Structure 1
């Protein structure tokens, strides 16, 4: 099993070359510097979640297509076997459970928000939808100007074409599944 950092580099280079983009062109499309893109492709840099989203949006691919590793026909996913992508001083941890599959058009993540975490996510492609299913704790989701507070066993679905924020205003860890659908 390759490290996540190496897998991201392999996938990024493969997708970029399939699209026929130079590093300069991808930099212009993603607002990520050419140097950073080169480091990521070489497996020398561990990009943040926001950087990966910028690259995915620039390439017009799913987030998980940058991190996925080929799987067999049956997949058992255990949280303890996954290494999270972290951001916001490790207050935000996202575990890629099921990467994007073009025949299914969705990907699934398990997300943990430490107490006090406020994670801002940039808008996705126009038709992308998100489904959030809260496992434990309480999360406040802000979509544009609207705010929604969800507790354990509650869910929300929204078009992800607006900036959105996930916030844990409690003193306990909040966890949820995030299903991202690409129609």
Structure 2
């Protein structure tokens, strides 16, 4: 995970370049109530699980989901996958 946004916006708006190796998972505990994440896949495929919902994303697709529940981003593919991840905290 590489931080792309300025540090002074951390805790409000955060954006990252995310690379997950084949079979890898980035699991996160719930963020504060109202937090949203936006994941746009740049290469490969990824799965996003937020609470009881799961979505599979391919190159060029975006998922928007609540991040105030346990959530995870995984790479079910056989090669590394990359994405842009934007985290929007409640104002």
Instruction: Give me the TM-score of the superposition, normalised by structure 1.
Output: 0.46
Deviations 1:102-126 (A, max 9, x none): 4xx3111000000010221111000
Counterpart position of 1:111: 18
Alignment partner of 1:149 is 2:56? yes
1:100, 1:160 → 2: CA distance? 20
- Mark the structure with the bigger radius of gyration: 1
Q: Is the 8 A contact 1:132 1:178 kept in 2?
A: yes
**Higher-strand-fraction structure:** 2
In the alignment, structure 1 segments of 5+ residues that lack a partner are 1-93
Alignment partner of 1:130 is 2:40? no
2:6, 2:18 → 1: CA distance? 14
2:8, 2:38 → 1: CA distance? 17
Higher RCO, Cα 8 Å, sep 6+: 2
Q: How does 1:34-45 map to 2 (within 5 A)?
A: none
Instruction: Give me the TM-score of the superposition, normalised by structure 2.
Output: 0.89
**Higher-helix-fraction structure:** 1
Counterpart position of 2:73: 166
Aligned pairs, number: 88
SS in 1 for 2:4: strand
In the alignment, structure 2 segments of 5+ residues that lack a partner are none
